[in-house]
Amino acid sequence: MNNTTSVAEVGTAEGVKLYPVPTSNVLTLETEVAVQPAVRIVDLDGATVLVSAVNTTGRTDIDVSSLAAGKYFVLITDAKGAISTKPFTKN
């Protein structure tokens, strides 16, 4: 019996900018590569705390005002299904 669990490889997002870091209310995501039309924001425990619609290329503002102060990661999936992360701090 094979009990192997598969986990998607997570890398750093090239062609993706996230600013300002740290932020208080709005986080801006700029992409030069095609990405899926939604991103997930997860806390340090890996729990999804926000899912936000984004433009597949270009600039999107993400409202993070509802998040508690702390450190988070934005999980971005590109058009080929590869997952990348960008860290940020919410004040």
How far lies 41's CA from each of 36, 57, 88, in Å? 14, 18, 10
- 11-49 pLDDT, tens per residue? 566 789 999 999 999 999 999 889 999 999 999 999 999
Q: Structural domains in the chain? A: 15-90 (2.60.40.1220)
Per-residue pLDDT, averaged over 73-80, amounts to 92
Q: What is the pTM of this model?
A: 0.83
How many CB atoms sit inside 10 A of residue 28's CB?
Answer: 14
Burial class (CB in 10 A: 0-12, 13-18, 19+), 52: middle
CB 14 within 8 A of CB 82: no
What was the pLDDT predicted at 7?
Answer: 42
What was the pLDDT predicted at 72?
Answer: 98
CB 28 within 8 A of CB 19: yes
- 61-72 pLDDT, tens per residue? 999 999 999 999
What was the pLDDT predicted at 79?
Answer: 86
CB 40 within 8 A of CB 50: yes
Six-digit token string for 75: 């999980």
CB 43 within 8 A of CB 85: no
Give the residue, 30 or 2, on which the prediction is more confident.
30
